[in-house]
Structure 1
Amino acid sequence: MDPLHRMSWDWIKSFVAVAEQGSLAAAAQRLQTNAATVSRHIAALEKHLGIELFVRSRQGMQPTLPAQQFLAPAQAMHGAMHQLSLGVAAKDTGLKGVVRISASVTIANFILPDLLGVLHSLQPGIHFEVVAVDSLSNLHKREADIAIRLTQPVHSELIAKRVAWFDLGLYASHAYLARHGTPRMDPQQLLRHRFIDVSPQHPLREGFAKSGLPQLGDCIVCACSDHASAWQMARSGLGIASSLKVVAQREALVSEVLTEVQPGRFPVWLVTHKELRQQPRLRVVADYLAQALKSLGS
């Protein structure tokens, strides 16, 4: 199980407060507790994750590189929790039942686990079924109660709300860069690199052709059926792949490359059925996901 699922929400609050305030004392003041409690939370979180989050110095608590990479999702979770506490009934409201969520393979694998872990800790009566699929689920046929999509569905019985934009970038693992060097925007130099694409869309191959560099298509060493698989290939060091920045920025062993290239961005749509939107547990989950995804995107 992902370690994020079992961590205490108090640890997250203390971590965000220390990272933003720069000291235990200032964080404790903001949280209306004492520095010893905040210190215990940080120590527990470090032990749980198996990493050092802060370096203690005269200048205060300096976040380590892993802490900097963990901060953005932690802040998003913190913001979503705050909105949830303002707009959602407390645990004792009797919200119970299953909510079926359909999401793209990438979102289901790399984004939903953190978000649902937080939500379940707040509403333990709500359980989830996650359908990881890149094709559109038929909400009007109850294949899912809520869908998270990177394209806008069109159906008169559905409510589709754009909640965020997710930017793309090109990434390579540190192991790959050590073997092949850092790629530059030079056609001859790029021919010495390896790329990972996604089929059947082949966005990299199409992008190479539009850029007047069709020969780079021969440098694609692997085509995967979904972006999540392509990302895992890139993490392993097979080649350079595109990824949602919100996913890649959590990974300590990869770096963004060819930053001059703008692979694009995706709108994030939260989709529900008109008739189901008023069910309390669906409204709670939909409102939470909308705020959380907004916090993660741009």
Structure 2
Amino acid sequence: MRKFDWDALQAFLAIARAGRLTIAAQQMGVDHSTLSRRVASLEASIGVTLFERSSVGFLLTPEGERLMTDAEAMESLAMRINARLDDPSGGLTGTVRVGTPEGFGTYFLAPRLAKLTAAHPDLEIELVANPRMFSLSKREADIAVTMTRPTRGRVYAHRLNDYALGVYASGAYLESHAPINMFQDIFKHRWIGYIDDLMWSTELDYLSQISTALMPALRISNVISQAAAVSGGAGIGVLPCFIARKEEALVRILPDEIALSRSYWLVSHADTRDIARVKLLSDFIRTECSGSEAFWGRWP
């Protein structure tokens, strides 16, 4: 029976997910030539070509696609074995990573992690609060909070909560610009919004929901910086109410005429969701959200 080199399979997975040798090598912490040799050795041992090498990177061949499925299954099994070896008693040790939108991670989750870390001092938690999508199949995170329910992949999704959004401006801005007393007045003002090609979710396209005629004069890639710009008087913008209430300078505009809502979803991968530390963090986030309805609501 042919013996497989697990290091070679890990190299294969890293390149398949990254698409480029140099990026995969950085992620694995090895030299790119070492990674290349491992994949070449794997191809030689099984007698097939796993990648098409091109100027744009490494693309899986049909044989590579088939191996990818089996290699990921082996990886998941290895992760479960390692989890048991970390603590044979089934305790909570090791590292668990959660990827979230920056608003959720910064304003909601981060301040609540103290109670979890105090209860489980041997557990290492990594919070990645970035404006992006996280691929659980590529192991970019163990669990993720998203703004839409995934429709593909071997994942489980749980709706955490809905949250309110509104249009805000600073008091100083409103004092020095034309009054906003009715809906048509909003077209006389400078708007702050997202950069189109950096809008990582269609759920962030707030302005077109209000009016397709609205175009931002100032475009910013993340909501925390948008809130700072609105608070600083650069214009008016749509913000989650749970963020806006942290900015004392902000005033809600036309709250009865313009009120939006969005949802957060908790997503876990089928292969790893039952690992104790992953389940613990998932359950913690769900519990915290279910007991915080007022946090997500309309303000003022």
TM range (shorter): 0.5 to 0.7
| Secondary structure at the counterpart of residue 184 of structure 1 | coil
Matched, 1:170 2:172: no
| Secondary structure at the counterpart of residue 106 of structure 2 | helix
- The structure whose Rg is larger is 2
Contact 1:242–1:263 under 8 Å retained in 2: no
Deviation at 1:198, TM superposition (A): 1.3
Match of 1:141 in 2: 138
Contact 1:163–1:269 under 8 Å retained in 2: yes
After superposition, what is the alpha-carbon deviation per residue over 1:246-268, rounded to whole angstroms, capped at 9, x for unaligned?
22223322121121233421111
The number of equivalent residue pairs is 200
Deviation at 1:226, TM superposition (A): 2.4
| Secondary structure at the counterpart of residue 111 of structure 1 | helix
AA in 2 matched with 1:144: A
Q: 1:253 to 1:119 in 2, by over 3 A?
A: farther
AA in 2 matched with 1:180: H
| Secondary structure at the counterpart of residue 136 of structure 1 | coil
Q: 1:280 to 1:255 in 2, by over 3 A?
A: same
CA distance in structure 1 between the aligned counterparts of 2:207 and 2:263, rounded to whole angstroms: 22
Match of 2:254 in 1: 258
Deviation at 1:182, TM superposition (A): 5.0
Matched, 1:241 2:243: no
Q: 266, 283, 289: which is aligned to 1:270?
A: 266
Match of 1:179 in 2: 176
| TM-score, normalised by the number of residues in structure 2 | 0.59
| TM-score, normalised by the number of residues in structure 1 | 0.60
AA in 1 matched with 2:144: A
Deviation at 1:110, TM superposition (A): 2.3
Alignment of 1:1-298 (within 5 A): 94-180=91-177, 183-187=180-184, 189-200=185-196, 203-207=205-209, 209-210=211-212, 214=213, 216-217=214-215, 220-296=216-292, 297=296
Deviation at 1:222, TM superposition (A): 0.4
| Secondary structure at the counterpart of residue 95 of structure 2 | strand
Deviation at 1:177, TM superposition (A): 2.6
CA distance in structure 1 between the aligned counterparts of 2:144 and 2:180, rounded to whole angstroms: 37
Identical pairs, percent: 27
Q: 1:243 to 1:122 in 2, by over 3 A?
A: farther
| Secondary structure at the counterpart of residue 292 of structure 1 | helix
| Secondary structure at the counterpart of residue 168 of structure 2 | strand
After superposition, what is the alpha-carbon deviation per residue over 1:145-181, rounded to whole angstroms, capped at 9, x for unaligned?
0100111112341110001111111111233233336
Match of 1:66 in 2: none
After superposition, what is the alpha-carbon deviation per residue over 1:65-94, rounded to whole angstroms, capped at 9, x for unaligned?
xxxxxxxxxxxxxxxxxxxxxxxxxxxx84
| Secondary structure at the counterpart of residue 291 of structure 2 | helix
Contact 2:183–2:254 under 8 Å retained in 1: no
Deviation at 1:224, TM superposition (A): 1.3
Structure 2 unmatched runs, 5+: 1-89
Deviation at 1:127, TM superposition (A): 2.1
Structure 1 unmatched runs, 5+: 1-92
Q: 1:106 to 1:269 in 2, by over 3 A?
A: same
CA distance in structure 1 between the aligned counterparts of 2:178 and 2:95, rounded to whole angstroms: 49
Q: 1:184 to 1:105 in 2, by over 3 A?
A: same
| Secondary structure at the counterpart of residue 293 of structure 1 | helix
Q: Runs of 4+ in structure 1 displaced over 6 angstroms?
A: none
| Secondary structure at the counterpart of residue 137 of structure 2 | helix
